[in-house]
Structure 1
Amino acid sequence: MAVITNTFRTTNAVGNREELSDVVSRITPEDTPIYSLIEKGKCVSVHPEWETDELAAPAENIREEGEDYTFDAITPPSRLGNYTQILRKDWIISGTQEVVSEAGNVQKRKYQKLKKGVEIRKDVEYAIVDAKASVAGATRNFGSLSTWITTNVSRGAGGANGGFNSGTGLTVAPTNGTQRAFTKTILDSVMQQGYQSGANFRHVSVSPYVKSVFVTFMSDTNVAQFRYAVTKGGERNTIIATADYYEGPFGTVMIHPNRVQAGAAGLARNAFFIDTDFLEFDWLRKIQEDKDVAKTGDADKGVIIGEGTLKVKNEKGLGVAADLFGLTSAS
């Protein structure tokens, strides 16, 4: 119907109040699966080091009665190390903005401090799952998880492991191979390697897409079928198409979808197998606010900073299925 002439509407008004909710919806995920799982420790230098040792392989041990002793040479332990990485977030807010009334107060110091702290924690997770070798010097960084693992590995054709270089004291980034689909065979292969090396894998961190591929393993002919109790008189039927644990020949693991690994193709192509006894994150400086930032104008400056490193106690306690299609069935 037509509007009567001279009807005064909101489009003509100049004094209507604006409405902006005080509730700010932040959907960005904050979970950090690997960092949250592993132990947190402390280091006291920018280059913490540690040693690893292992037993000799079992062998036939038969000695002649009355024979004289001979003595084996002692193999010294391996000496490993990683470098600490400085992580920082900062902001600056004018003095006026800090005191004016604002919906949600998201542009205030208190909110920014909390937000930046969460962002650093996510940056730690990113650095763990990235494929970046360790770097010494003033702008140093710790070697990521994939740059350490050389023993329990399934890799695509043409790919090569990185690993710790005892000569340089640095880790080496792995070389990408041909990408392939994640399969039960790959899962079993890495778990078997880990079992034979002495690891007890309990967790596997994967991209969300790889988690969706894992769920399809339920249809494998060698996997037991799901069975669910049905409540008599129930009003709802549910389609069950998920699984979180895999109980295989060499242990039981929980498959964690890691949203940080969905951030880029290079992060999504790896599935990390973790025995938490062999992985730790050590802080030289825990995430904290730097309260010594000088005030130089009519503004409030803020800095959140932390410094730490990834401690891989023994890479044989970890594993990786590399070169997977991690974002889609073809990427």
Structure 2
Amino acid sequence: MAQKTNTFATFNAVGNREELADAIYRISPEETPFVSSIGKGKAESVMPEWQTDALAAAANNKVEQGNESTVVAISPTVRVGNRTQISEKVFGITGTQEAVDKAGRKSEVAYQTAKKMVELKRDVEYAAINNTTAIAAASGVAPQARGLAGWLKTNSLQATDGAAPDPITNTAPTDGTTRVLTEDMIKDAQQKAWEQGGNPTLLLTPSGLRAKVSSFAGAATKFEKAESKVTTATVEVYVGDFGRLKIINSRYNRARDVFGIEPDRFKLLTLRAMKRTPLAKTGDSENYMINTEWTLKSEQEAASFAIRDLKAA
């Protein structure tokens, strides 16, 4: 039915107030499961270094009576390290925008500071998982920290035409032909890590492989809560012959990688903590930089595992 002649509608009016909710809603994910699960420490240089070692393989150690001992050569420790990486966010706010009455926040500077810090934390998570090599700072070259993908060598399962990384020689992994993820791959990787003395407890899984992992026989039984009439359609734990893996949905894993980690063997080392710094004022605006300098320490990469070159089907 048509509008009655000469009735006054909102679209004819001039003085109606606008309605804007006094809140700002974000959909972007903020969780950082890898960085949040590992230890924290302090870096004191742009290339922290540490040493790793391993015991000789166990054997039936016996000698005859009156044995004249022979001195056996000692294997030296392995010296490893990583480069620090500088991550930053920069923003500017005009004097007018900071002064006007705003919905959802009192201060634009404060709101953008909080937002950029969350973004920066996500950037660190992404790099700490996916960076494959350490890069030294040079003129025109930004330094880079080696991430999880570049540390896990010993227990790395990849396609036959792929290659594992080598953190000692700072060599990146080579992608191979993707193959379907199977439960046997997880069992094999768990066993390899256990035989090295590791105890991986977290399985970082990209979204495209999550349902595949949930379908494995070793995944904890789905259950129904009668009191709430809610059926759990997924699993949170994979139980294998060599331990339990808490399945963690990792938004920043590459779609082709799954990582089983022992969190106690990794540390996020910070040379410079996250901080907001005012930049030079050149006009009617306030400019700020938020940055941090960090690196990823792997105390013993052989305690964890990587399964690479994967697809769901």
Which category of TM-score, normalised to the shorter sequence, fits these structures?
A: over 0.9
2:172 is the alignment partner of 1:173: yes
Instruction: Please tell me the residue identity of whatever aligns with 2:132.
Output: K
* 8 A contact 1:134–1:172 mirrored in 2: no
Distance 2:70 2:237 in 1: 50
* 8 A contact 1:86–1:307 mirrored in 2: yes
Distance 1:22 1:124 in 2: 31
TM score, norm. by length of structure 2: 0.93
2:237 is the alignment partner of 1:245: yes
The CA RMSD measured in Å over matched residues stands at: 1.9
Deviation per CA, 1:66-120, whole angstroms, max 9, x where unpaired?
1212111121100001000000001000111111111113870101111111111
Specify whether residues 230 and 287 from structure 1 end up closer, same or farther in structure 2 by C-alpha distance, changes over 3 A only: closer
- Shift of residue 238 of structure 1? 3.5
Distance 2:106 2:25 in 1: 11
Instruction: Please tell me the residue identity of whatever aligns with 2:92.
Output: I
Specify whether residues 100 and 142 from structure 1 end up closer, same or farther in structure 2 by C-alpha distance, changes over 3 A only: same
Q: Secondary structure at the match of 1:26?
A: coil
Specify whether residues 183 and 226 from structure 1 end up closer, same or farther in structure 2 by C-alpha distance, changes over 3 A only: same
Distance 1:224 1:257 in 2: 15
* 8 A contact 1:158–1:178 mirrored in 2: yes
Q: What are the residue-to-residue correspondences of 1:100-119 with 2, within 5 Å?
A: 100-105=100-105, 108-119=108-119
- Shift of residue 131 of structure 1? 4.1
Instruction: Please tell me the residue identity of whatever aligns with 2:150.
Output: T
Structure 1 runs, 4 residues or longer, greater than 6 Å off: none
Residue number in structure 2 paired with 1:305: 291
- Shift of residue 22 of structure 1? 1.2
2:206 is the alignment partner of 1:207: yes
- Shift of residue 241 of structure 1? 1.8
Specify whether residues 238 and 156 from structure 1 end up closer, same or farther in structure 2 by C-alpha distance, changes over 3 A only: same
Identity of matched residues, %: 39
Residue number in structure 2 paired with 1:273: 260
2:295 is the alignment partner of 1:296: no
Instruction: Please tell me the residue identity of whatever aligns with 1:202.
Output: T
TM score, norm. by length of structure 1: 0.88
- Shift of residue 157 of structure 1? 2.9
Specify whether residues 32 and 229 from structure 1 end up closer, same or farther in structure 2 by C-alpha distance, changes over 3 A only: closer
2:269 is the alignment partner of 1:282: yes
Q: What are the residue-to-residue correspondences of 1:306-321 with 2, within 5 Å?
A: 306-321=292-307
Q: Secondary structure at the match of 1:164?
A: coil
Distance 1:192 1:3 in 2: 75
* 8 A contact 1:204–1:271 mirrored in 2: yes
Residue number in structure 1 paired with 2:121: 121
- Shift of residue 323 of structure 1? 1.1
- Shift of residue 225 of structure 1? 8.2
Deviation per CA, 1:260-288, whole angstroms, max 9, x where unpaired?
23xxxxx2211111112211110000111
- Shift of residue 123 of structure 1? 0.4
Q: Secondary structure at the match of 2:89?
A: strand
Deviation per CA, 1:4-49, whole angstroms, max 9, x where unpaired?
2222212222222221111111111100000000001001000110
* 8 A contact 2:201–2:245 mirrored in 1: yes
Residue number in structure 1 paired with 2:51: 51
Q: Secondary structure at the match of 2:136?
A: coil
* 8 A contact 2:237–2:246 mirrored in 1: yes
Instruction: Please tell me the residue identity of whatever aligns with 2:281.
Output: K
Distance 1:132 1:106 in 2: 42
Residue number in structure 2 paired with 1:254: 246
